[in-house]
Amino acid sequence: MTSASFEKRIKRQIIGREHLFFAATTSGLKSVCYQELNNIPGSFKEIKMVDGGVEFTGRMQDCYKANLYLRTANKILMRIGKLKASNFRVLEKKLLQVPWELFLPFKTNILPEISVTAKHSRLYHTKAVADCFKKSIAARFSTIIDSPGEKKDYLQQKLLIRIQNDNFLISIDSSGELLHKRGIKKHNHTAPIRETIAVAALMIAGYQPGTPLLDPLCGSGTFSIEGAMLASSTPPGWFRDFAFMSWPCFKSAQWDYLKREAEKKISLEGPCHIFASDIDFEACSRLSDILKANNLSEIARAEQKDFFAFLPSDIFEETGVVMLNPPYGLRMGNKNKSEKLLKDILHKLRASYAGWKYALVVPRNAIPKKILPYSSSHPFTHGGLDMILLTGKIV
């Protein structure tokens, strides 16, 4: 295979065609991701909600855009093939026909990670299936002898194989690390809320860039950082790389163009409409460093304060949105402490935040008996726990 002939195949079969993509989301949040996709300029087609997320049809540049712009998706998969096999002999034969070199970087020393799930299938041994795929890929790559350049390391690739009723759906992960990893935070914090969930909560609560946003139990500052990125029109994928950047079809010039167009819309100037606080001085200090390092300190600031010791009117003249993800469970030591803290938070909101919209994240089994007026509930899962987002307006 010559370089010229390979480029022609890539253009004809990958770049020149539309593909089916899948944006995986946190359970309970796919409707928010669906709205996001519909609002991103591009050639997205046939956008629809399905089990586990949102499907859409598009070209490769739409895959780039989805990874760059989607704030609530966990990862973007590209569907690359379907087949049916009820035994390994048939599976091995059909895998010989898959042109792996069009999807995976074959000038690499590392085979892709293979994740297999099986349901109602005669081939239920997932490790054996994964080994079969790896063997097929290695055999296919061994036949490509006229490839330009030397072998080198690329970003780790991952294939996801879903088997149901002996039908195989083969997908490749275009994102790499999960999309909640924005490339901004350099430290860990006890039980942080994922960025994808935090920004969905902001959207559901009705936060509008340029209006006051309070994050008074900020911890690692996820609500504040996501709010600042929204307010500045900074794409969530701005600070990181993606697995598709190692694909044979990847065009760096096209990716650079998309980022230049995105950069034109980024505005990092104040005034500051986002205020984060916490009783933990070190947490506030780390958050301040993050905001400064990513040019977001004109939009958001962090300061040590006790939530119960200040009024929102001390910070902002106008009402806005207050976001709360209070500690619970093991972080509080026992259930009684968690329940008391939640009760105190609700009392503080009723007493001091009249006119404010709010979002409150709590475990589903800890929903307070007296929910704030006009609240609505949005169930989701986080870290294996059943959670609920309560939103509304305090009157």
Q: What is the pTM of this model?
A: 0.92
- In the predicted structure, residue 148 carries a pLDDT above the cut 70: no
Contact status, residue 232 vs residue 274, Cβ threshold 8 Å: no
Q: How far apart are CA 177 and CA 155, in angstroms?
A: 10
Query: What's the pLDDT tens digit per position in 65-76?
Result: 999 999 999 999
Instruction: Report the range of poorest mean pLDDT among 37-41, 233-237, 354-358.
Output: 37-41
Q: How far apart are CA 335 and CA 6, in angstroms?
A: 61
- In the predicted structure, residue 142 carries a pLDDT above the cut 90: no
Which domains can be identified in the chain, with CATH numbers? 3-173 (3.30.2130.30), 195-234+242-264+271-393 (3.40.50.150)
For 15-30, letters b (16+ CB in 10 Å) and e give eeeeeebbbbbbebbb
The pLDDT score that the predictor gives to residue 191 is: 56
Q: Which helix (H) or strand (E) holds 363?
A: strand 357-363
What is the mean pLDDT of the segment spanning 174-188?
A: 89
Query: What's the pLDDT tens digit per position in 98-126?
Result: 999 999 998 777 889 999 999 999 999 99
- Rounded to the nearest 10 degrees, the angle between the axes of helix 252-263 and helix 60-69 is 40
- In the predicted structure, residue 266 carries a pLDDT above the cut 60: yes
What is the mean pLDDT of the segment spanning 180-201?
A: 85
Q: How far apart are CA 26 and CA 24, in angstroms?
A: 7
The pLDDT score that the predictor gives to residue 340 is: 87
For 313-323, letters b (16+ CB in 10 Å) and e give eebbeebbbbb
